[in-house]
Amino acid sequence: MATETQTKNVSINNFEQCLKCSICTVYCPVSAVSPAYPGPKQAGPDAERYRLKNKEFFDEALKMCLNCKRCEVACPSGVNIGDIIQAARIKYNSHRPKLRDMMLANTDFVGTMASPFASIANPVLKLKPVKAVLHGVMAIDKHRTFPDYSSRKFESWFKKEVAATQENYSKHVSYFHGCYVNYNYPQLGKDFVKIMNAVGYGVHLLEKEKCCGVALIANGMPKQARRQGEVNMASMRKAIAQGHQVLTTSSTCTFTMRDEYAHLLDIDNHDVRDNISLATRFLFQLIERGEIKLAFSDDFHKRVAYHSACHIERMGWVPYSTRMLSMIPGVELVMLDSQCCGISGTYGFKRENYERSQAIGKGLFDQIKEVAPDCVATDCETCKWQIEMSTGVTVENPISIIAQALDVEKTRKLNALD
Amino acid sequence: MKFDDIIIGGGLSGLTAAISLAQAGHDVAVISAGQSTLHFSGGSLDLLGCDSNGNAVESPLEAIATVSDSHPYKKVNEIEAKALNAKQLLSEAGITTTGNASANHWRITPIGAIKPTWLSVDGMATVPSSQAMPWKRVALVNIINYLDFPTKFLAAGLRAKGVEVEVKPITVPALEQLRKSPSEMRSTNIAKTIERNGLVEEVATAINNATGNNYDMVLLPAVLGIDSSATSDKLLKLISCPAGYVATLPPSVTGVRMQTLLRKRFTALGGTFFTGDQVVEGIFDGNTLKGVRTAKLDDTTLEASHFILATGSFMSRGLVADYNHVYEPALGVDVEDHSLNRKSWAVVDINSNQPYMEIGVKTDDQLRCMKNGEIITNLYATGAILSGHNSIKSLDAAGVDMLTALQAVNNILK
């Protein structure tokens, strides 16, 4: 009986395993710059005991949490501290989301509306008076510029230019491109298709793709996030049934669909989870198993500084991306210290968070300026906006760097495609 | 994923081994399940503080010759040279220390006890002997509202040694803000606030205003220097009286700095760090460990020629106890004294010698682990997970961590 009690009594998010060692507090980027934030230990396992007694103990200050999960990475006892905090926000927060938060969170709706008018929307969103209105009325900070909308969505490009040839390949994968690739930066999706085709894989879109929902969770719209998550899971099940792996080029979308769906949204993804992977990880595994080979051009040279985005750090997958980059002979790789850049998706766009966001990222920005690389590599698109805005250094997804360095002809030959 | 060597555990022992192997040109990975107990470091490293009778050791090198046969030091060759290597390795990582293995000096604990130690991080206040204190008048400075520096205990400890102590509370406006969340006025947040806002001069002025030139020694809580010792060194220089740091209750800023600098050193040498992941299975082929599986890498096996298990003791979950036995959870290697039952592994008086402290992983004379009684030829154990000594009673934790790690590296490289 005693053994039974000890081994089977697992608390929600493991919170009873907290030893109160305080290691998590060392790595919280928020409490280091905002004394009003109670820090991960207090906001997480400590206050959870009170909240379980009475919901009145819910503290509005929890919305300052970035959901970076660095507390969980640091925890030696396996407590899901970040999940405890996010779950409390979902469960106890009684405020309805503001219009601004709804707009920031609905990345695919806003993207769909903006893309046809990209040539107008992009310059307009950069105008000082527009920014002033956004700042004053919408509380979107005036220092921020929205990432440019692409006039042609990735999906439109894909369907028109390459979809027809994908069946020519003998092996196939599905691609969850995410909102960023679709509306803002189709080039990353094109880079992905270029690499996969060069090694003999046809790329397919999912039957239906919705925003992964990370911004909806962060902005207090869990129900909509759940609906969208279910759509994604249903589409992925179909792809997996055809023998496809579902690949992504965004660490946060991947983390959300693999881990947050089950932990925070109560979506049953157990049959899908293991088939969702980052493209760098998938490629690394294929190379390691000897199934594909990559050839790189001799005249590609870049000094690349790798930034470990919070959610790839939480997944433990950084070495897949860095080992892929290290395979490129012309890449000199410098590892930046692993720390949050401060943007956390929509968080840093909000007027009330702007200063905090920049203070959190300062250590990283200073280090990047000191290293002075040709570019920064990271697996997260919002880190890209933040680092580019704050340092002026170009930021690329590892997939784009691989695509730039790839010698397509040689690679096709190596993989016996020609 | 293939490496030359894989170290399981990213604390003092694991990183010592990892850095040494990377320096030898190996492709090394460290797998670390959360942060290490360096976060509770007192800013000093012990080699051997007490002999088997509980008496303070003057010369660790001499006393190590007399440790029991079960002690991990019995498996370390050329202790003196390895102790020098360890100090050198720390220094190359940016952690400069005072002290040597021939003669212990004394550190001051956060609750005012004086303990023998081997190396102290530069800047920590130390004394040459436990008997006569080198100071007549001491100012014990604390930051107002900072609760993890128990000045009453500290003052009482020093007064018991005949020192005149005055407690001097100080603050600066930015630090007053830190108690907005009462729980978050922590050592590391104080360090970050002072360093990021460039407040070292302001803090020095506040300290000098409180202490003037009137003291033989100004003792400060070790709440500076989280990324490097630049700011903590600078503050000591700006104080009019001689000054030094005393460790605080956790988290330890000095310990965080040691952890950060060791990891940076390893990464700069080209090492790969698997952060926040946990080994859940070993893939064995006869008496060889081929690879390990982790909680987060799913179907990826991490393979290597040699492995080091440096996952620590109970606190770090390198060892786990349930109601019936103690086991090693990552690879299921043999644990010494696993037959002890629960009633015999603990003693009611918490201060007595607790038998469970000596429980640990069983190794041969080359520090290689065993599984079902058979030696695993390429798997070594180092640091706190080793059986046969009580690091709390003998004050030898850091020495065992670093020296067994260096020995395992020797055994791998030879």
pLDDT tens figures, B239-280: 999 999 999 999 999 999 999 999 999 999 999 999 999 999
What architecture (CATH level 2) is domain B2-99+257-413? 3-Layer(bba) Sandwich (3.50)
Residue A2: per-residue pLDDT? 62
A252 is a domain residue: no
**Dihedral of alpha carbons A346, A347, A348, A353, sign:** positive
Q: Length of chain B in residues, anyone?
A: 414
Domain span at A353: 302-405
Give one DSSP letter per residue of B187-206, joined into a string.
HHHHHHHHHHTT-HHHHHHH
Residue with tokens 């406006």: B173
Determine contact, residues A331/A401, Cβ cutoff 8 Å.
yes
Residue A99: per-residue pLDDT? 81
Subunit contact A284:B35, Cβ cutoff 8 A: no
Beta strands in A167-210 (DSSP E): 171-176, 201-205
- As a whole number, mean pLDDT of residues B135-139 equals 97
A413 is a domain residue: no
- Alpha-carbon distance of B251 to B157, in angstroms, equals 22
Subunit contact A39:B181, Cβ cutoff 8 A: yes
| Distances in whole angstroms, Cα of residue B27 to Cα of each of A329, A332, B267, B272, B274 | 17, 17, 11, 8, 14
- Alpha-carbon distance of B11 to A85, in angstroms, equals 28
A186 is a domain residue: no
Res. A116: pLDDT tops 90:
no
- In the chain, the amino acid numbered A252 is T
Residue A43: per-residue pLDDT? 95
Residue A9: per-residue pLDDT? 67
Q: Which of B343, B303, B307 is nearest to B325 (CA)?
A: B343
This prediction's pTM: 0.95
Q: Which of A312, A303, A196 is nearest to A247 (CA)?
A: A196
Determine contact, residues A246/A239, Cβ cutoff 8 Å.
yes
Determine contact, residues A316/B274, Cβ cutoff 8 Å.
yes
Residue A7: per-residue pLDDT? 63
Subunit contact A33:B188, Cβ cutoff 8 A: no
Domain ranges of chain B: 2-99+257-413, 125-246
**Distance (Å) from the C-alpha of residue A46 to the closest C-alpha of chain B?**
10
ipTM: 0.94
Whether chain B has a CB inside 8 Å of the CB on A284: the answer is yes
A330 is a domain residue: yes
pLDDT tens figures, B341-373: 778 888 889 888 888 999 999 999 999 999 999
B250 — alpha (psi -120 to 50), left (phi > 0) or beta?
Answer: beta
Structure tokens at B64: 């190590």
pLDDT tens figures, B296-321: 998 899 999 999 999 999 999 999 99
Q: Look at chain A and report how many structural domains it folds into.
A: 2
A26 is a domain residue: yes
Whether chain B has a CB inside 8 Å of the CB on A21: the answer is yes
Instruction: Provide the pLDDT confidence category of residue A348 given band limits of 50, 70 and 90.
Output: confident
Structure tokens at B412: 């791998």
- As a whole number, mean pLDDT of residues A53-71 equals 92
CATH number for A27 = 1.10.1060.10
Q: Which of A199, A248, A253, A218 is nearest to A348 (CA)?
A: A218
Q: Which residues in chain B touch residue A338, judged by CB atoms under 8 angstroms apart?
A: 275
- Alpha-carbon distance of B355 to B400, in angstroms, equals 18
Q: Which of A92, A126, A152 is the last residue of a domain?
A: A92
Q: Length of chain A in residues, anyone?
A: 418
A 332-361 residues with CB < 8 A to B: 335, 337-338, 359
- How many Cβ atoms are within 10 Å of A164's Cβ, its own excluded? 9
A154 is a domain residue: no
- Mutation target for A interface from B30, B190, B260, B275: give the one with most A CBs within 10 A: B275
Q: Which of A92, A120, A144 is the last residue of a domain?
A: A92
| Distances in whole angstroms, Cα of residue B136 to Cα of each of A183, B21, B129, B217 | 71, 47, 15, 8
Q: Which residues in B193-206 are b (16+ Cβ under 10 Å) and which e?
A: bbbeeebbeebbeb
- Mutation target for A interface from B171, B176, B183, B258: give the one with most A CBs within 10 A: B183
Subunit contact A31:B250, Cβ cutoff 8 A: no
Determine contact, residues B390/B74, Cβ cutoff 8 Å.
no
- Mutation target for B interface from A5, A23, A281, A333: give the one with most B CBs within 10 A: A23
- B215 phi and psi, to 5 degrees? -125, 150
Structure tokens at B189: 């947040």
- Alpha-carbon distance of A328 to A302, in angstroms, equals 10
- Alpha-carbon distance of B87 to A219, in angstroms, equals 50
DSSP lists the bridge partners of residue A277 as A247
**Distance (Å) from the C-alpha of residue A7 to the closest C-alpha of chain B?**
8
CATH number for A384 = 3.40.50
A324 is a domain residue: yes
A33 is a domain residue: yes
CATH number of the domain at B125-246, out of 3.40.50, 3.30.70, 3.30.365, 3.90.105?
Answer: 3.40.50
Helix (H, G, I), strand (E, B) or coil at A172: strand
Instruction: Provide the pLDDT confidence category of residue B324 given band limits of 50, 70 and 90.
Output: confident
Helices then strands, each counted (H, E), chain A: 24, 8
**By CB neighbour count within 10 A (0-12 exposed, 13-18 middle, 19+ buried), where does B4 fall?**
middle
Q: Which of A72, A92, A112 is the last residue of a domain?
A: A92
- Alpha-carbon distance of B289 to B286, in angstroms, equals 8
Q: How many Cβ contacts (< 8 angstroms) between chains A and B?
A: 122
In this complex, the residue of B34, B267, B296 whose CB is nearest that of residue A335 is B267
